[in-house]
Structure 1
Amino acid sequence: MKSTHQSKGGDLSAYSVFLAVANQRSFRAAAAELDLTPSAISHSIKSLEQRLGIRLFNRTTRSMALTDAGERLLARLRPAMAAIEDAVQEIEERRGTPSGTVRINASEGAIRLVLKPLLARFLREHPQVRLDLVSDGRLSDIVADGFDAGIRLAEAVAQDMVAVTVLDRVRFAALASPAYLAARGRPRVPQDLHGHDCIRFRFESGAIYRWEFERRGSVERINVDGPLTLTDQPLMVEAAIDGIGIAFVPDHLAADALRDGRLQRVLEDWCPDSPGLCLYYPGHRHVSSGLRALIDALSEQRRRWSAQAAAAR
């Protein structure tokens, strides 16, 4: 009787390569993820296809897509490989030391705001943990894309996920440079934005973000217009500093420019706090020791920030 690693389909490493390529849709990206060469990845996939007797990917010089057989194999392999990873992690955790790679998907703003302040200390205290942080403006499917967890606004987290609050509140702000306001005037109510140049934000899905304001229970959603549309919020801040128009972004991204006067708030009484940021992960998956250590560190950071905010009031 053949053992699992000697079966017709090949050994488990070949399936790991297949999963990486299926997730990345790229030999080169999969090679970077697995620390292999693109030629080694290509050879592994070709060998697996030969052993199975069926093509798993349709490949051209410009694109790569799973075949129907590849899609079926991927659907069966993901939960199986996840179960194997969970079993290995549980055994490793018996050593009592957090270890392993933790892959996190988050927006650039979330990474800068909640992860950057603790990275150096966390990695120093947990030398056997490796963090793989992917900055992504989309609402990615963290399970399908192979992430252990994500960080997003609380309102964007699916109900079937376990959510851990890592930042209590996030405040959006409408911002403009003093030069722009001197030339164009200050909007007094959200509808005034129709007469201003606004710096719009486009999601990676292609949708344009509608600016949302609220005051005393009255909600205004504005489809703004303007000369510039971006997919990067820090760039929106820079464009506002340059006087291109009014930007609407989480105010922590513009803290320095607000402090030194390069930007000013407008419509401030229409910009209330919104629900904060959560780290989230699928409830059916085992929480690795590395992810648990990160959650503990983020929770402690949140408690410290809350205490500092209370002391400042």
Structure 2
Amino acid sequence: MNPSFHDLEIFSAVARHRSFRKAAEERGVSPSALSHALRALEEKLGVRLLNRTTRSILPTEAGARLLQTLEPAFHDVSLALQDLRAMQDTPTGSLRINMPRPAARLLADRMARFVLQYPKVSLEVVTEERLVDIVAEGFDAGIRFGDSVAADMVSVPVGAPQRFAVVASPEYLSLHRIPEKPQDLMRHACIGRRFPSGRRYNWEFENEETLFTVAVSGPLVLDDDDSMIRAALLGVGCAYVYENLVEQDIGQKRLQPLLQNWVPGECPEVCVSDLAHGFSDTQAAKRSPNIMANWLRAANHSRTFRPSFSKLRIAR
């Protein structure tokens, strides 16, 4: 009867360490158990593999030849098992994400890096402003503003706070007094935002860690950041947007920031619900949510978007 792989591993460990005690520590068993297993192996093979004395353990000629053959074989087996685990740990399949256009713009670089890092994942991004039913419309995940997150989702911080900015063009400010406090905006033309739900957005401000809102008004109400920024550049009025969306315009003096000591920051968060739904029963499936979450954490550095995820999965 041929010896088992386990028996050969025991012989290899004892021969390498030349010590039952050290080999036992490596294998997590008692020295006596190893000694008994090795004697059984020698009886099975009909040859002595180790010379044992009270001071040392040395391979016999037969044992040395066997060890010389086993070591590279064990190494090859170890590499093969590592490759197999790597295959199990690599996410595969498709991932469809629905998100607002500003989120897609802010995360474009990170999405490109994600597909380069995980080439077996097909990532499809659909941008629109309306709040779709992610599952009903065939999406695997959705990025949402924090106040659009369903109450049953779990929030996970993924980055540093993202600042807002109130901005207006120099042309507009040449005709209107610069506001010194948020309440002054009531006398200004403000570019409003209405969510797809129909709710009008009140601008948020902060005073000594106390948040409050101002119900601004103006001649124009829009539903996306790009249009609001364009309107501000044309001198329509003041706009309230994420600061990183207008950094270039501010740097080139096309827009001027206002009320900088009053605008709050938001802590980016990823909101996750039912992560394991739809996954195959593999280690890759179980680890994929963590991989995607880590991707989002890396995407949310010092100036980023605040996303939230629902029904995140990578389906095989």
Question: TM-score of the superposition, structure 2-length normalised?
Answer: 0.60
Aligned twin of 1:177: 169
1:10-25 correspondence to structure 2 within 5 Å: none
Aligned twin of 1:121: 113
Match of 2:157 among 165, 174, 181: 165
Contact map agreement 2:131 2:197 (CA 8 A) in 1: no
Matched, 1:98 2:91: yes
Contact map agreement 1:177 1:242 (CA 8 A) in 2: yes
> Which deviations, in whole Å up to 9, do the C-alpha atoms of 1:73-127 show, x marking residues without a partner?
xxxxxxxxxxxxxxxxxxxx974432111111222222222x2122222212222
Name the CA distance, whole Å, in 2 between partners of 1:270 and 1:303: 22
Q: Tell me the matched-pair count.
A: 213
Match of 1:296 among 290, 294, 297: 294
Aligned twin of 1:201: 193
Question: What is the CA distance between 1:160 and its match in structure 2?
Answer: 2.3
1:229-268 correspondence to structure 2 within 5 Å: 229-268=221-260
Name the CA distance, whole Å, in 1 between partners of 2:96 and 2:237: 36
Task: Return closer, same or farther for 1:167/1:112 CA change in 2, 3 Å cut-off.
Answer: farther
| Structure with greater proportional strand content | 1
Name the CA distance, whole Å, in 2 between partners of 1:187 and 1:304: 27
Name the CA distance, whole Å, in 2 between partners of 1:302 and 1:222: 28
Question: What is the CA distance between 1:141 and its match in structure 2?
Answer: 3.4
Pair member with larger Rg: 2
Name the CA distance, whole Å, in 2 between partners of 1:95 and 1:272: 43
Aligned twin of 2:308: none
Task: Return closer, same or farther for 1:305/1:247 CA change in 2, 3 Å cut-off.
Answer: closer
1:33-112 correspondence to structure 2 within 5 Å: 95-112=88-105
Tell me which amino acid in the other structure corresponds to 1:296.
Answer: N
Aligned to 1:183, the other structure's residue is in SS state coil
Name the CA distance, whole Å, in 1 between partners of 2:162 and 2:177: 27
Question: What is the CA distance between 1:289 and its match in structure 2?
Answer: 6.3
Gaps of at least 5 residues in structure 1 are 1-92, 307-313
Aligned twin of 1:24: none
Worse-matched range after superposition: 173-182 or 214-223: 214-223
Tell me which amino acid in the other structure corresponds to 1:293.
Answer: I
Contact map agreement 2:190 2:219 (CA 8 A) in 1: yes
Worse-matched range after superposition: 270-279 or 291-300: 291-300
Task: Return closer, same or farther for 1:157/1:120 CA change in 2, 3 Å cut-off.
Answer: same
Name the CA distance, whole Å, in 2 between partners of 1:273 and 1:174: 12
Question: What is the CA distance between 1:214 and its match in structure 2?
Answer: 1.6
Aligned twin of 1:130: 122
Question: What is the CA distance between 1:269 and its match in structure 2?
Answer: 1.3
Tell me which amino acid in the other structure corresponds to 1:254.
Answer: V
> Which deviations, in whole Å up to 9, do the C-alpha atoms of 1:227-265 show, x marking residues without a partner?
111111111111111111000011111111011111111
Aligned twin of 1:42: none
Gaps of at least 5 residues in structure 2 are 1-85, 280-285, 305-316
Determine what percentage of the aligned residue pairs are the same residue: 39
Name the CA distance, whole Å, in 2 between partners of 1:205 and 1:239: 22
Tell me which amino acid in the other structure corresponds to 1:276.
Answer: P
Name the CA distance, whole Å, in 2 between partners of 1:95 and 1:220: 49
Question: What is the CA distance between 1:130 and its match in structure 2?
Answer: 1.0
Task: Return closer, same or farther for 1:277/1:233 CA change in 2, 3 Å cut-off.
Answer: farther
Question: TM-score of the superposition, structure 1-length normalised?
Answer: 0.60
Task: Return closer, same or farther for 1:228/1:208 CA change in 2, 3 Å cut-off.
Answer: same
> Which deviations, in whole Å up to 9, do the C-alpha atoms of 1:185-219 show, x marking residues without a partner?
11112221121111111111222111121211444
Name the CA distance, whole Å, in 2 between partners of 1:167 and 1:294: 14
Contact map agreement 1:151 1:280 (CA 8 A) in 2: no
Task: Return closer, same or farther for 1:162/1:142 CA change in 2, 3 Å cut-off.
Answer: farther
